[in-house]
Amino acid sequence: MHIPFCKRKCAYCDFYSVANAKLKEHFVEAICKEIDLQKKYLEGETIQTIYFGGGTPSMLSVNQIENILNQILKNFNVDKINEITLEANPDDLSIDYLKAIKQQGVNRLSVGIQSFDDNDLLLMKRKHTANQAIEAIKNAQKEGFENINIDLIYGLPDLTIKNWEENIDRALNLNIQHISAYHLTIEPNTLFKKMYKNEKLNLPTENESLDQFKMLIQKTEKNGFLHYEISNFALDGSISLHNANYWMGVKYLGLGPSAHSYNLTSRQWNISNIHEYLSMILKGKIPYETEILSKKEKYNDFVITSLRTMWGINTEILKKKFGEKYEKYFLSKTKKFIEKKLVLKTENNFILSEKGIFISDSIMGSFLYE
């Protein structure tokens, strides 16, 4: 579920979001209606995971979260549900809120910390401080949350390797189970884009960014984390089931404005406009666009998502899904990457080496079927 509300826009963010919190009640009413309208999309399959993404889902009240979850329970088979994630900002996670969402069944938190340096947080227009972030994690642990992710960003303006090491150490010292770490991207229509154009951002060099990524890999590995996807690190048993399902090509239903869905045949995405979304849904119509995927497009998606993970690509599975032509095409592209030790082969499995991860985009692009 895409919950599009934010108190204010962060300097780096280009996700669809709105600051008008007065619309929350209408939005919850609409997303509950959309759940009813979309109840046949997954063809009766059992729901494995629920993910409140954003925006800032922790801006929803506990009653609003309860209403949405009750509507899912009414319309879907949830007998085997084992992960309900709520993305949250640290300043929303009061002890009372944590207690109440846990009672509603939320068992995984994804906390948008981004940095433990107050100067970075100010620059990014985050609303919390480093101390608030630390306190939020500790309070969540006191309330019994045992599956906590934190988001961090590297490649930030003026971020030194020493600052980044302190960020990683602070994260690891909190005894969390999962870290999602992303390199800063200067996106269009963001404050950072304006600052970059006006030469007001002193960004790290490519080599400095690479050193930061290497340090992240080394320190998380030393502390027992699996580097299971390019940007994701987890203790054994704490891999995000929801995100892993995306990368494994499992079907999913997205709800809310700008949310995406996939049913193994087509992709569809809701309009990125909350007013049109509310108007259409409350009339009983879903405002979405759709595309039917060709075999070539499915193959390309499979390559990109699979190579991002520690499981890589199994050619037997590839052949079963797409046929011998695509298997031969994939294998014809592997030789040069294996020789350069950018791709590792074990039996029928191909995965990116650590060296290959650093240039993953260009490698994955080489495997795409034109």
| Residue listed under structure tokens 């204010």 | 8
Give residue 280's pLDDT: 97
- Report percent pLDDT > 70 for the chain: 100
Q: What would the mean pLDDT of 268-293 be, rounded to a whole number? A: 96
Minimum mean pLDDT among 5-19, 112-126, 148-162: which range?
Answer: 5-19
- Tokens of residue 214, six digits: 């290497």
Q: What is the CA radius of gyration of the chain?
A: 21
**pLDDT tens digits for 34-66?**
999 999 999 989 999 999 999 999 999 999 999
- Tokens of residue 321, six digits: 């899904």
Residue 330 has pLDDT above 90, yes or no: yes
Residue 20 has pLDDT above 90, yes or no: no
3-state secondary structure string across 44-60? CCCCCEEEEEECCHHHC
Tally of residues, the chain: 370
**pLDDT tens digits for 134-145?**
999 999 999 999
- Whole-structure pTM value: 0.95
Task: Measure the CA–CA gap between 301 and 65, rounded to whole angstroms.
Answer: 32
Residue 19 has pLDDT above 90, yes or no: no
Minimum mean pLDDT among 21-25, 100-104, 235-239: which range?
Answer: 21-25
Give residue 80's pLDDT: 87
- 298 in Cβ contact with 265 (< 8 Å): no
Residue 30 has pLDDT above 90, yes or no: yes
Residue 72 has pLDDT above 90, yes or no: yes
| Residue listed under structure tokens 């005894």 | 175
Bridge partners (DSSP) listed for residue 309: 229
State which amino acid sits at residue 10.
C
| Residue listed under structure tokens 């060709």 | 294
Helix 62-75, helix 95-103: angle, nearest 10: 10
Bridge partners (DSSP) listed for residue 151: 112, 180
Helix 315-322, helix 324-339: angle, nearest 10: 150
3-state secondary structure string across 106-134? CCEEEEEEECCCHHHHHHCCCCCCHHHHH
Q: What would the mean pLDDT of 311-323 be, rounded to a whole number? A: 96
Closest CA to 262 of 248, 280, 283: 248
The dihedral through the CA atoms of 363, 367, 369, 370 has a sign that is positive
- Tokens of residue 223, six digits: 């502390």
Residue 370 has pLDDT above 90, yes or no: no
Residue 235 has pLDDT above 90, yes or no: yes
Task: Measure the CA–CA gap between 27 and 281, rounded to whole angstroms.
Answer: 10
Q: What would the mean pLDDT of 108-135 be, rounded to a whole number? A: 97
Closest CA to 180 of 279, 85, 292, 80: 85
**What are the phi and psi torsion angles at 49 (to 5°)?**
-145, 150
Task: Measure the CA–CA gap between 165 and 19, rounded to whole angstroms.
Answer: 34
Give residue 15's pLDDT: 86
Give residue 112's pLDDT: 97
**pLDDT tens digits for 332-366?**
999 999 999 999 999 899 999 989 999 999 999 99
| Residue listed under structure tokens 């020493």 | 162
Give residue 14's pLDDT: 87
Give residue 255's pLDDT: 98
What are the b/e assignments for 95-120, b being 16+ CB within 10 Å? eebbebbbebebbbbbbbbbbbbeeb
**pLDDT tens digits for 178-232?**
999 999 999 999 999 999 999 999 999 999 999 999 999 999 999 999 999 999 9
Give residue 275's pLDDT: 95
Average pLDDT score over the chain: 95
Task: Measure the CA–CA gap between 21 and 4, rounded to whole angstroms.
Answer: 10
Residue 289 has pLDDT above 90, yes or no: yes
Closest CA to 101 of 136, 55, 140: 140
Residue 314 has pLDDT above 90, yes or no: yes
Which domains occur in the chain, in start order? 2-247 (3.80.30.20), 296-367 (1.10.10.920)
Residue 16 has pLDDT above 90, yes or no: no
Strand 343-346 and strand 349-352: pairing?
A: antiparallel
- Tokens of residue 309, six digits: 């993970």
Q: What would the mean pLDDT of 95-119 be, rounded to a whole number? A: 98
Strand 343-346 and strand 108-114: pairing?
A: unpaired
**pLDDT tens digits for 236-272?**
999 999 999 999 989 999 999 999 999 999 999 999 9
